[in-house]
Chains A and B, each alone.
Chain A
Amino acid sequence: MNGRKTILAGIAAGALVTVAVAGPAAARDLTVVSWGGAYQDAQREVYFKPFVEATKIKLLEESWDGGVGVLRAKIQGGNNNWDVVQVESEELVLGCEEGLYEKIDWEKVGGKDKLMDDAVHECGVGTIVYNFILSYDADRIKDGPKSWADFWNVQKWPGKRALRKGPKTNLEIALMADGVPPAEVYKTLATEAGIERAFRKLDELKPHLIWWEKGSQPPQLLAAGEVAMTSAYNGRIAAANQNDKKNFRIVWQNSLYTVDYWVIMKGTPNKAQAEQFIHFASLPENQAKLPAKIPYGVTAKAATAMIDPKILPELPTAPENIATALYINEPFWVENLDRLNQRFNAWVAR
């Protein structure tokens, strides 16, 4: 961890030099940080450019690859130059706990009731929804699986299965395959017996399981016919269908979803502009333009009605898709990941 800090200190020092060269940065431009790539390209068209046009507030973009250590170093180093950052739920929970973010003043960003419940957090405003889904290749399997219980049915659908390596998401999937309704999953996992039950269920499938680690692997495994079914990120499957002309199907029944959030960095001088930006990026009419560019769900309740009905069924937030979905409980994982990682590694190696 210290090594990482040193690197960050180096980066921070570099940033300091830049600031010094640029002169005193009293009136720093609003700096918005997102995840780069195709996603940020879409955000630029949908949020950043229209925001600058509408408000005449100058906006500076940056990108990052996540990691709460980066944000910690910025706040502790005392020369934080970021204002609004898009974080994953893990960074949201950890950073909020450690006081790295401003508390959200919901009046200023448009109100809690405009967004779906899981997008509301004391330190963050949810902006996109993406899912862990069951996927299979419809060119190979005609009468495909419908649920996680089918994922376990190797008699009807022979062939290997792939899951993401690690306990997170897999314990939930195992319990749902074992008949636990989504609403009961984390209550069950909170008990030792529940964790035992999840591992026993995974035991049943173990001879047929292989593990993926990077989001790019599941479409490859499906394309190569290496596995009959796999868990995957919905965006990757949509991309494979679109770009490589694949016929992969997504099973939305009991999928798992997570939300990425906007946070405001603690002590920013641009708090008012930051709130204005988040407000702008949470308006349903603005959010509704994003899914056409990249298949993520958006968090404003009213946005769903404005999205092209042709692409809506492909989105995590389509009403019938989200109805049975399970929100990944990040506080549970922050609390238990060390122990369950160890147990999972021991289990998987046996």
Chain B
Amino acid sequence: MIQAATVETTEIPALKRLLRRSQRRQQVTAIALVAPLLVFLLLTYIGPIGALLSRGILDPEVPSVLPRTTAALATWDGRELPPEVAFAALVADMREARSAGTLAAAATRLNYDINGFRSLMFSTARRLPAEIDSARDTLIGIDPKWGERETWAAIRRASGPVGDFYLLAALDLRRDADGNIVAAPEDQAIFIDVIARTFLISGVVTALCLVLGYPVAYVLATLPARSAGLLMIFVLLPFWTSLLVRTAAWVIVLQREGIVNSLLLGIGIIEQPLEMIFNRFAVYVAMTHILLPFMILPLYSVMKGIPAVHLRAAASLGAPPFTVFRRVYLPQTLPGIGAGCLLVFIQALGYYITPALVGGAEDQMISYLIAFYASRTINWGMAAALSILLLAATLVLCAVYGRLVGFGRVRPG
């Protein structure tokens, strides 16, 4: 940030002090200038995102609603049914939670783990008699599920304050009654598939953007300034329209009685309308179209900097056109390719609206599920765990990219 002045160390110490003071002043000014942005980022970006992500590893509902029970279960060995103390603690917790109206929070959390836990909690709480001799007999009398080890193990698994329940679930894993990590039943396993699909779709879209964007960027970079400017507007125009509008436009173009089908039917190339919407094809088309500028712009800026004399020199030394391209031009555009691919790929990973609108059910990406849990079923723990997974996968990928290509070579825009 601040230029270190080169001063001979043996020179007058007073001058050094002065210099240091002025440097410090500059430093303070610099920090003061950056501070508003830092505070802004902290408050509006890092803070909220961190708070949301933390829900993926926090498990606060059960310990706060059933404090006595979680305390009593802390020393339980898990091999047989817990002792009478735990049953009595649960009865006391349930009575209190029911009158405070907080039972729903714990019941909802436990129902994520074992189907039916919700009504087990509510029906038990409702049927608790006023006087109780043996809490154990009473509870098992109300519902035999209280006599099963698995029921109590689920409460202990949810005893928080931190837990791996959501993170494991996001990896299609769960813990059994003995605390071992096992695979989720096949009909409940979904997330690994969807994450793999997210990466596949992003990869294909990136490749398509590169294949389509490279020649366009080349033409833009080699045309005279005036016509290049005009073409550039065509590249940028989609940038200025809303993502939603562009996606909806593709629905109109691709649908069964849309423009493309009408045209093809009209000139007699096809007899049945093609299915081009609500499938993977539509997702690739729409996402590639939307993300193309992010590929073209970095490529263009890099190509603009390649002197034409290099190519002419290579040609005059006898290289055929393809060799000129492969040996001289392509290597010089690599930084642009790297930057463009990274930009497109990372944006594609988080795509949600476009696949939701033009894709079918088997084309949804991980952010669809994040939105599903965050806003539909209000299961924020699951949404956060999936977000952590997506973020981690992206960071790993960036690290690998940095290793292979090196961020130093990336010159975006």
Residues of A within 8 A of B (CB): 1-4, 69, 72, 75-76, 94, 97-100, 160, 165, 209-211, 224-226, 331, 334-339, 341-343, 345-350
Contact = CB atoms under 8 A, between A and B. Distances in A.
A339 B117 CA distance: 11
Interface string B266-307: 000000000001100000000000000000000000000000
B257 A225 contact: yes
Given A336-B115, A345-B190, 4 more contacts: A1-B380, A99-B98, A224-B257, A226-B255
Contact of A349 (B105, B362, B377): B362
A335 B101 contact: no
B330 to A, nearest CB: 39
Contact of B360 (A4, A210, A337, A339): A210
Interface residues of B, number: 37
Interface string B87-106: 00000000000101111110
A98 B119 CA distance: 11
B275 to A, nearest CB: 8
Most buried by B among A209, A226, A341, A343: A226
Contact of A335 (B103, B116, B372): B116
A338 B114 CA distance: 9
A347 B361 CA distance: 10
Interface in B157-196: 187-190, 193-194
A334 B111 CA distance: 10
Given A226-B277, A341-B377, A72 B115 contact: no
A334 to B, nearest CB: 7
B405 interface: no
Given A348-B361, A348-B362, A335 B190 contact: no
Interface of B: 98, 100-105, 108, 111-112, 115-116, 118-119, 122, 187-190, 193-194, 197, 255-257, 277-278, 360-362, 364, 369, 372, 377-380
A331 B122 CA distance: 12
Given A72-B101, A336-B115, A345 B378 contact: no
Contacts of A1: 105, 108, 378, 380
B115 to A, nearest CB: 4
B189 to A, nearest CB: 6
B380 A338 contact: no
Contacts of A345: 190, 369, 372
Contact of A347 (B187, B256, B372): B187
